[in-house]
Amino acid sequence: MLIDGRGEDESLPYERLKTLITQDACLLGDLIEVLVDRETSAKKINILASLAGYGTVIEQREGYWALKVDTSHRQCR
């Protein structure tokens, strides 16, 4: 799943990811990629995913940053 937050305020992709991992986690595939303009935005969003127990990786791409969230080990109830 892709959340493209480039060109947006960092709170928008943060809230989209928050909704996905707190409400729709069982419907997710194995990876969520969040694209943002700044490294600081990726790091702030990374905190949310890490606190929720997901493995993450931040990658610098050409002109933007990508936060990869591994959702393959989620617990569904």
Give me the half-sphere count of Cα atoms (radius 13 Å) on the Cβ side of residue 32.
28
Instruction: Compute the distance between CA of residue 12 and CA of residue 55 in angstroms, rounded to an integer.
Output: 21
What is the tens place of the pLDDT at every residue in 27-77? 667 889 999 999 999 999 999 999 988 899 999 999 999 999 998 876 665
What pLDDT score does 48 carry?
A: 93
Output the CA torsion sign for 33, 36, 38, 40.
negative
What pLDDT score does 74 carry?
A: 66
**Higher pLDDT pick, 16 / 25:** 16
Q: Kindly state the average pLDDT of the residues 9-34.
A: 85
The distance of Cα 50 from the centroid of its chain, to the nearest Å, equals: 10
What token pair was written down for 58?
A: 């931040």
